Amino acid sequence: MSLNIAIDGPAGAGKSTIAKQVAKELNAIYVDTGAMYRAMAYFMLQNSVNKEDSEAISAKSKEADITIKYENGQQIVVLNGENVNGVIRTEEVGNMASVCAVNKDVRLKLVELQRALAAKEDVVMDGRDIGTYVLPDANVKVYLTASSACRAKRRFDELVAKGEKPDLAKIEADIIDRDHRDMTREFAPLKQAVDATLIDSSNMSIEEVKNAIIALTK
Ligand code: DC
Protein backbone atom coordinates (compact mmCIF):
# COMPACT_ATOMS: atom_id res chain seq x y z
CA MET A 1 0.00 0.00 0.00
CA SER A 2 1.19 3.52 -0.71
CA LEU A 3 2.18 5.90 2.09
CA ASN A 4 -0.60 8.43 2.74
CA ILE A 5 -0.11 11.49 4.94
CA ALA A 6 -3.13 13.74 5.55
CA ILE A 7 -2.68 17.37 6.62
CA ASP A 8 -5.84 19.31 7.35
CA GLY A 9 -6.45 22.71 8.87
CA PRO A 10 -7.88 26.18 8.31
CA ALA A 11 -6.80 28.70 5.67
CA GLY A 12 -3.32 30.12 6.12
CA ALA A 13 -2.09 27.63 8.73
CA GLY A 14 0.94 26.87 6.56
CA LYS A 15 -0.32 23.52 5.25
CA SER A 16 1.00 23.83 1.72
CA THR A 17 4.46 25.10 2.70
CA ILE A 18 4.86 22.31 5.24
CA ALA A 19 3.27 19.57 3.13
CA LYS A 20 5.58 20.37 0.20
CA GLN A 21 8.66 20.04 2.41
CA VAL A 22 7.46 16.85 4.09
CA ALA A 23 6.72 15.34 0.65
CA LYS A 24 10.20 16.22 -0.57
CA GLU A 25 11.86 14.66 2.45
CA LEU A 26 9.81 11.47 2.15
CA ASN A 27 10.09 11.26 -1.62
CA ALA A 28 6.32 11.45 -1.93
CA ILE A 29 4.04 13.56 -4.11
CA TYR A 30 2.48 16.70 -2.67
CA VAL A 31 -1.23 16.95 -3.48
CA ASP A 32 -2.80 20.37 -2.92
CA THR A 33 -6.54 19.63 -2.88
CA GLY A 34 -7.41 23.30 -2.25
CA ALA A 35 -6.06 24.03 -5.74
CA MET A 36 -8.68 21.67 -7.18
CA TYR A 37 -11.48 23.55 -5.37
CA ARG A 38 -9.92 26.81 -6.54
CA ALA A 39 -9.93 25.59 -10.18
CA MET A 40 -13.62 24.75 -9.80
CA ALA A 41 -14.27 28.20 -8.30
CA TYR A 42 -12.36 29.88 -11.12
CA PHE A 43 -14.54 28.02 -13.62
CA MET A 44 -17.70 29.25 -11.82
CA LEU A 45 -16.45 32.84 -11.75
CA GLN A 46 -15.53 32.70 -15.44
CA ASN A 47 -19.05 31.52 -16.19
CA SER A 48 -20.69 34.11 -13.91
CA VAL A 49 -22.39 31.42 -11.84
CA ASN A 50 -24.26 32.96 -8.89
CA LYS A 51 -22.61 31.84 -5.64
CA GLU A 52 -26.00 31.66 -3.91
CA ASP A 53 -27.37 29.21 -6.51
CA SER A 54 -26.28 25.72 -5.46
CA GLU A 55 -28.24 24.03 -8.26
CA ALA A 56 -26.42 26.14 -10.84
CA ILE A 57 -23.08 25.24 -9.18
CA SER A 58 -23.98 21.53 -9.28
CA ALA A 59 -25.01 21.69 -12.93
CA LYS A 60 -22.01 23.73 -14.05
CA SER A 61 -19.55 21.52 -12.14
CA LYS A 62 -20.35 18.71 -14.58
CA GLU A 63 -18.73 20.75 -17.37
CA ALA A 64 -15.49 21.23 -15.46
CA ASP A 65 -12.87 18.64 -16.29
CA ILE A 66 -10.22 19.04 -13.59
CA THR A 67 -7.06 16.95 -13.58
CA ILE A 68 -3.64 17.37 -12.12
CA LYS A 69 -0.23 16.60 -13.52
CA TYR A 70 3.32 17.08 -12.32
CA GLU A 71 6.08 19.01 -14.06
CA ASN A 72 9.51 19.18 -12.40
CA GLY A 73 7.86 18.04 -9.17
CA GLN A 74 5.31 20.89 -9.28
CA GLN A 75 1.57 20.23 -9.26
CA ILE A 76 -0.18 21.72 -12.29
CA VAL A 77 -3.97 22.01 -12.13
CA VAL A 78 -5.55 21.59 -15.54
CA LEU A 79 -9.07 22.90 -16.09
CA ASN A 80 -10.65 21.84 -19.39
CA GLY A 81 -7.20 21.47 -20.93
CA GLU A 82 -5.80 24.77 -19.61
CA ASN A 83 -3.11 25.19 -16.94
CA VAL A 84 -4.81 27.44 -14.35
CA ASN A 85 -2.02 27.58 -11.73
CA GLY A 86 -1.39 31.26 -12.46
CA VAL A 87 -4.97 32.45 -11.94
CA ILE A 88 -6.31 30.57 -8.90
CA ARG A 89 -4.31 32.19 -6.08
CA THR A 90 -6.40 35.34 -5.63
CA GLU A 91 -8.53 36.11 -2.54
CA GLU A 92 -11.60 36.25 -4.82
CA VAL A 93 -11.00 32.69 -6.06
CA GLY A 94 -10.19 31.49 -2.52
CA ASN A 95 -13.46 32.83 -1.13
CA MET A 96 -15.45 31.40 -4.05
CA ALA A 97 -13.65 28.04 -3.53
CA SER A 98 -14.95 27.94 0.02
CA VAL A 99 -18.48 28.57 -1.31
CA CYS A 100 -18.18 25.86 -4.01
CA ALA A 101 -16.70 23.45 -1.47
CA VAL A 102 -20.04 23.40 0.37
CA ASN A 103 -21.60 21.76 -2.69
CA LYS A 104 -21.81 17.95 -2.46
CA ASP A 105 -21.57 17.34 -6.22
CA VAL A 106 -18.40 19.40 -6.39
CA ARG A 107 -16.90 17.52 -3.45
CA LEU A 108 -17.76 14.04 -4.73
CA LYS A 109 -16.19 14.81 -8.09
CA LEU A 110 -12.93 16.10 -6.61
CA VAL A 111 -12.71 13.48 -3.85
CA GLU A 112 -12.76 10.74 -6.50
CA LEU A 113 -9.70 12.28 -8.14
CA GLN A 114 -7.93 12.65 -4.77
CA ARG A 115 -8.56 9.04 -3.73
CA ALA A 116 -7.37 7.69 -7.09
CA LEU A 117 -4.07 9.57 -6.71
CA ALA A 118 -3.52 8.39 -3.13
CA ALA A 119 -4.19 4.77 -4.12
CA LYS A 120 -1.37 4.67 -6.63
CA GLU A 121 1.24 7.09 -5.24
CA ASP A 122 2.91 7.94 -1.93
CA VAL A 123 1.24 11.25 -1.13
CA VAL A 124 1.27 14.10 1.34
CA MET A 125 -2.19 15.54 0.78
CA ASP A 126 -3.42 18.77 2.30
CA GLY A 127 -6.96 20.09 2.57
CA ARG A 128 -9.88 20.28 4.97
CA ASP A 129 -11.38 16.78 4.98
CA ILE A 130 -8.46 14.54 4.08
CA GLY A 131 -8.09 12.76 7.44
CA THR A 132 -11.81 12.68 8.18
CA TYR A 133 -13.27 11.80 4.78
CA VAL A 134 -10.96 11.46 1.76
CA LEU A 135 -8.32 9.16 3.32
CA PRO A 136 -9.74 7.80 6.59
CA ASP A 137 -7.00 5.13 6.63
CA ALA A 138 -4.07 7.52 6.11
CA ASN A 139 -0.87 6.38 7.83
CA VAL A 140 -0.37 9.77 9.51
CA LYS A 141 -2.95 12.49 10.14
CA VAL A 142 -2.13 16.02 11.21
CA TYR A 143 -4.45 18.90 12.08
CA LEU A 144 -2.37 22.02 11.55
CA THR A 145 -3.70 25.29 12.88
CA ALA A 146 -2.66 28.75 14.14
CA SER A 147 -4.52 31.75 15.55
CA SER A 148 -6.56 33.76 13.02
CA ALA A 149 -4.45 36.86 13.73
CA CYS A 150 -1.28 34.94 12.99
CA ARG A 151 -2.72 33.40 9.79
CA ALA A 152 -3.94 36.78 8.57
CA LYS A 153 -0.52 38.33 9.18
CA ARG A 154 1.16 35.55 7.15
CA ARG A 155 -1.25 36.12 4.20
CA PHE A 156 -0.71 39.87 4.53
CA ASP A 157 3.09 39.47 4.36
CA GLU A 158 2.80 37.17 1.30
CA LEU A 159 0.68 39.74 -0.54
CA VAL A 160 3.02 42.60 0.43
CA ALA A 161 5.94 40.56 -0.91
CA LYS A 162 4.04 40.30 -4.22
CA GLY A 163 3.83 44.12 -4.35
CA GLU A 164 0.15 44.33 -3.34
CA LYS A 165 -1.34 46.71 -0.74
CA PRO A 166 -3.59 44.45 1.33
CA ASP A 167 -5.86 45.40 4.23
CA LEU A 168 -4.93 43.28 7.28
CA ALA A 169 -8.31 43.66 9.04
CA LYS A 170 -10.16 42.61 5.86
CA ILE A 171 -7.90 39.57 5.42
CA GLU A 172 -8.56 38.45 9.00
CA ALA A 173 -12.32 39.00 8.61
CA ASP A 174 -12.29 36.92 5.38
CA ILE A 175 -10.29 34.16 7.12
CA ILE A 176 -12.77 34.01 10.01
CA ASP A 177 -15.65 33.93 7.55
CA ARG A 178 -14.01 31.18 5.48
CA ASP A 179 -13.18 29.09 8.60
CA HIS A 180 -16.78 29.36 9.71
CA ARG A 181 -18.14 28.22 6.32
CA ASP A 182 -15.56 25.39 6.04
CA MET A 183 -16.27 24.17 9.60
CA THR A 184 -20.06 24.35 9.58
CA ARG A 185 -20.94 22.97 6.15
CA GLU A 186 -23.08 19.86 6.22
CA PHE A 187 -20.96 17.55 4.09
CA ALA A 188 -17.35 16.74 5.09
CA PRO A 189 -16.71 19.88 7.18
CA LEU A 190 -13.29 20.94 8.41
CA LYS A 191 -12.61 19.29 11.75
CA GLN A 192 -9.82 17.46 13.48
CA ALA A 193 -10.01 13.70 12.90
CA VAL A 194 -10.15 11.78 16.19
CA ASP A 195 -6.86 10.08 15.34
CA ALA A 196 -5.09 13.23 14.07
CA THR A 197 -2.22 14.94 15.89
CA LEU A 198 -2.91 18.62 16.61
CA ILE A 199 -0.07 21.02 15.78
CA ASP A 200 -0.50 24.74 16.51
CA SER A 201 2.08 26.53 14.37
CA SER A 202 1.45 30.03 15.85
CA ASN A 203 4.81 30.04 17.61
CA MET A 204 6.68 27.42 15.59
CA SER A 205 9.07 27.78 12.66
CA ILE A 206 8.45 25.93 9.39
CA GLU A 207 11.40 23.66 10.19
CA GLU A 208 9.96 22.78 13.62
CA VAL A 209 6.57 21.88 12.18
CA LYS A 210 8.16 19.83 9.40
CA ASN A 211 10.31 17.90 11.87
CA ALA A 212 7.32 17.24 14.12
CA ILE A 213 5.43 15.67 11.18
CA ILE A 214 8.42 13.65 9.97
CA ALA A 215 8.78 12.28 13.52
CA LEU A 216 5.19 11.02 13.33
CA THR A 217 6.04 8.93 10.26
CA LYS A 218 8.83 7.00 12.05
O1 DC B 1 -6.47 25.64 1.02
P2 DC B 1 -7.09 26.66 0.08
O3 DC B 1 -7.19 28.04 0.65
O4 DC B 1 -6.42 26.65 -1.27
O5 DC B 1 -8.60 26.11 -0.14
C6 DC B 1 -9.59 26.86 -0.79
C7 DC B 1 -10.97 26.45 -0.29
O8 DC B 1 -11.25 25.13 -0.74
C9 DC B 1 -11.14 26.40 1.23
O10 DC B 1 -11.77 27.56 1.75
C11 DC B 1 -12.03 25.22 1.49
C12 DC B 1 -11.96 24.41 0.25
N13 DC B 1 -11.34 23.09 0.44
C14 DC B 1 -12.14 22.07 0.93
O15 DC B 1 -13.30 22.30 1.25
N16 DC B 1 -11.64 20.81 1.03
C17 DC B 1 -10.38 20.56 0.72
N18 DC B 1 -9.92 19.29 0.82
C19 DC B 1 -9.52 21.59 0.25
C20 DC B 1 -10.04 22.87 0.15
Question: pLDDT tens per residue, the chain (218 residues)?
Answer: 799 999 999 988 999 999 999 999 999 999 999 999 999 999 999 999 999 999 999 999 999 999 999 998 889 999 999 999 999 999 899 999 999 999 999 999 999 999 999 999 999 999 999 999 999 999 999 999 999 999 999 999 989 999 999 999 999 999 999 999 999 999 999 999 999 999 999 999 999 999 999 999 99
Are 124 and 19 spatial neighbours (Cβ–Cβ below 8 Å)?
yes
How does DSSP classify residue 130? I
Distance from residue 31's CA to the centre of ligand 1 (Å): 12
How far are the Cα atoms of 2, 14, 23, 27, 181 from residue 19, in angstroms, in the given order? 17, 8, 6, 12, 23
Q: How would you classify the pairing of strands 74-79 and 66-71?
A: antiparallel
Q: What is the CB < 6 Å shell around ligand 1?
A: 11, 33-34, 37-38, 94, 97-98, 101, 127-130, 178, 182
Q: What is the pTM of this model?
A: 0.93
For 31, the 3-state DSSP assignment is strand
Distance from residue 101's CA to the centre of ligand 1 (Å): 7
